[in-house]
Amino acid sequence: MTTEKKEQPLNDFEERRRAALAMGGEAKLRARAEKGVLDARSRIDRLIDPGSFYESGLFGRSIMPGDEATTPADGKIAGYARIDGREVAVISNDFTVKGASSSLTNMRKIGQMRRIAAMRGLPMVWLGESSGARLPDNQGSRGMGTMLGNDPTQYQRMRETPWVSAILGYCYGSSFLYNCCSDFSVIRKGAVMAVSSPGLIELATGEKLSPEDLGGWRIHAETTGMVDMVVDTDEEALDALRKFLSYMPTHHKEMPPVRPTPAGSGEGMRTIQDLLPASRTQVYDMRKIIQRIVDNDSYFEMKARFGRVAVTALGRLAGRVVGIIANNPMVKGGTLDTDACDKIIDFLVLCDSFNIPIVMLVDTPGFLIGAEAEKRRATGKIVNFMNALQLVTVPKISVIIRKTYGQAYLNMGGGRNSDEVAAWPTAEVSFMTPAFAVTVVHGLRRGDPGFEEKLAEMEKENEVWGIASMYGVQHVIQPQETRDHLIRLLDVHQLRLSNGIGQHLMRAWPTSS
């Protein structure tokens, strides 16, 4: 064989490689850069450990005749990488190639990444930006036969490994599907997630909507609860994914990573009681209490704009990851509503699936009641909450900070629905708020003769000492002891018989219930 013939395949390889790496071309990439938006490969580079990306399917192209030259990597970049030294699988949608639309080839790439992630214990990362299904590829019966890369388990979640997703542009079709399957999702302001584009909606229904009104960040962060965090830039979104994964094990059969305890952690406990108002009706921000309890700089809140009467956050205690569920009296006095139920359920499933013990900090007057609450299926949501709580197999430690009444007492870990219950001396426990109880039991209303006397009697009966005397709470602790109490009990309640691994009874719980 001549030297020229030997070199031809190598030259052909390099030419094809350059074409694939060029994505949609210099002009499209430059236009994105001018808007401050990263391209698909730059997003991967920002997210992962430098030099760790190992691409799969670089030479994938469309199977449609005539499209081979215009579909480098077929619009979806796939491969393996490392984040903080741990292997992950990554899909990054390349909007410069046919809007990162889905086709037979790139869906096969997605199927491969998802299967390997599940089989080999790798977290799955989705960097979303897609116009949806590619036309005319998916049009007609033959086109529909190519859907999902012929993988019937494409959207099955058994939570073998964590999934994370970023919404970084227009996300229709598979981009919204994978986001809704993820354990953590972040949206960049200006990005959009919806089932279909405004143009298609107008054709189908005549309704004219802007992309932002259809599925912008406010809708999903504040109304639907489908995203966990909102950021301003691509870079912030990728940093959020990286940080979330730092709390997660790589797969469900290992414990989350342990970090050194930062210097100064717990110093704020000496004055933590100063954050709690003297009056049960005066509001305060529970998040400030949580931030004093957990290790310094470890507080990572999820769904902060949704179901705001509750707080769900990851954090660390003495370097070990914990999940925190708390009532927030700053919003509606901490009265739990249906959005809060959904938010807490999602978080319980996350923690139980990935072996994260749960801490519950309690201060709630109960569940929101009334006609509107019933229309929003309050009864079913409350029962789902209890169902999820009782399916949890990781340790659950509850601390009653101030008040807990009625059914919410049970949902927030009382009545043996957590492994141990502690209470501050300020805690009050009863079936309902004292003023309402006076009216129900004695027929008296505020201003009636004898009301204040009966109210004082009710308040006395609600004090923590009654329930502590019958071992309904196992510990009464001073506020400044809370961090040390939690660290000690989490040591006690380690799952030693299973090497820290829970039973994962909710591994198939719907990700977008």
pLDDT computed for residue 139 by the predictor = 66
40: Cβ contacts below 8 Å, ≥ 6 apart: 23, 77, 92, 93, 94, 95, 96, 100, 127, 129
Show the 3-state SS of 228-256: CEEECCHHHHHHHHHHHHHCCCCCCCCCC
Element housing 468 (H / E): helix 464-469
Token pair listed for 284: 């305060």
pLDDT computed for residue 381 by the predictor = 93
pLDDT tens-digit profile, the chain (513 residues) = 566 666 677 788 999 999 999 999 999 999 999 999 999 999 999 999 999 999 999 999 998 888 888 999 999 999 999 999 999 999 999 999 999 888 989 999 999 999 999 999 999 999 999 988 787 776 666 666 666 556 777 778 899 999 999 999 998 877 888 889 999 999 999 999 988 777 777 777 888 888 888 889 999 999 999 999 999 999 999 999 999 999 999 999 999 999 999 999 999 999 999 999 988 789 999 999 999 999 999 999 999 999 999 999 999 999 999 999 999 999 999 999 999 999 999 999 999 999 999 999 999 988 988 898 888 888 999 999 999 999 999 999 999 999 998 899 999 999 889 999 999 999 988 876 777 777 777 887 888 887 777 777 777 778 899 999 999 999 999 999 999 999 999 999 999 999 999 999 999 998 876
pLDDT computed for residue 444 by the predictor = 76
Runs of H (alpha helix) within 39-157: 40-47, 104-120, 140-144
Task: Note whether 11-246 and 267-427+463-498 share their fold.
Answer: yes
The whole model's pTM is what? Answer: 0.93
Is the CATH code 3.90.226.10 the one for domain 267-427+463-498?
Answer: yes
For the chain, which residues make up each domain, given as ranges?
11-246, 267-427+463-498
pLDDT computed for residue 459 by the predictor = 74
Q: In whole angstroms, give the CA distance from residue 232 to residue 219.
A: 16
Q: Residue with structure tokens 């999902």? A: 148
Count helices and strands in the chain by DSSP H and E runs: 19, 16
Spell out a b/e string for 411-432, using b for 16 or more CB atoms within 10 Å of the CB, else e. bbbbeebbbbbbbbebbbbbeb
pLDDT computed for residue 133 by the predictor = 77
pLDDT computed for residue 176 by the predictor = 84
Runs of H (alpha helix) within 22-103: 26-34, 40-47
Query: Quick one: 404 exposed, middle or buried, by C-beta within 10 A (0-12, 13-18, 19+)?
Result: buried
Relative orientation angle of helices 286-293 and 482-492, to the nearest 10 degrees: 60
Rg from Cα positions in the chain: 26
**How many other C-beta atoms can be found within 10 angstroms of the C-beta atom of residue 314?**
25
Element housing 54 (H / E): strand 54-56
Question: 11-246: CATH homologous superfamily?
Answer: 2-enoyl-CoA Hydratase; Chain A, domain 1 (3.90.226.10)
pLDDT computed for residue 462 by the predictor = 80
